[in-house]
Amino acid sequence: EPEVTQTPSHQVTQMGQEVILRCVPISNHLYFYWYRQILGQKVEFLVSFYNNEISEKSEIFDDQFSVERPDGSNFTLKIRSTKLEDSAMYFCASSRGGLAKNIQYFGAGTRLSVL
């Protein structure tokens, strides 16, 4: 069964450093998302991406964040200068579109620890 793949599973970084979280969405999916879950809190939407551009972003997704689909398979989230409060699980998701657009399939997540 196709799945969303995320790497690395755990990323440790120093405050102020740049990180890139990587995702390979399901191959025939057209819509891509990033969510995060701070420990003990709910899963929160960050950004959606369709047709090579951001379609929506939350207030969390400020200028420190960017997304890119550099080739036909990868979808990345970059945090330019990490802060302690960026420590969280980051989930990538994708959906097929059409009538199945709202059904998003999630990866296992990347745990980001900012020290």
Partner 1 sequence: DQQVKQNSPSLSVQEGRISILNCDYTNSMFDYFLWYKKYPAEGPTFLISISSIKDKNEDGRFTVFLNKSAKHLSLHIVPSQPGDSAVYFCAASVWDDKIIFGKGTRLHILP
Residue 17, CA distances (Å) to 21, 45, 77, 87 in order: 13, 23, 14, 13
Task: Walk across the sheet containing 5-7 and list its strands.
Answer: 5-7, 19-24, 75-79, 65-68
Q: Which is nearer to partner 1, 75 or 105 (CB)?
A: 105
CB of 81 to partner 1, least distance (A): 25
Residues 76-95 that bind partner 1 (CB under 8 A): 91, 93
CB of 85 to partner 1, least distance (A): 18
Interface mask (CB under 8 A) for partner 1, residues 6-45, using x and -?
x--------------------------x-x-----xxxxx
- The single residue among 22, 66, 74, 106 that binds partner 1, judged by CB under 8 A, is 106
101 makes contact with partner 1 (CB under 8 A): yes
Q: Which residues bind partner 1 (CB under 8 A)?
A: 4, 6, 33, 35, 41-45, 48, 56, 58, 91, 93, 101-109
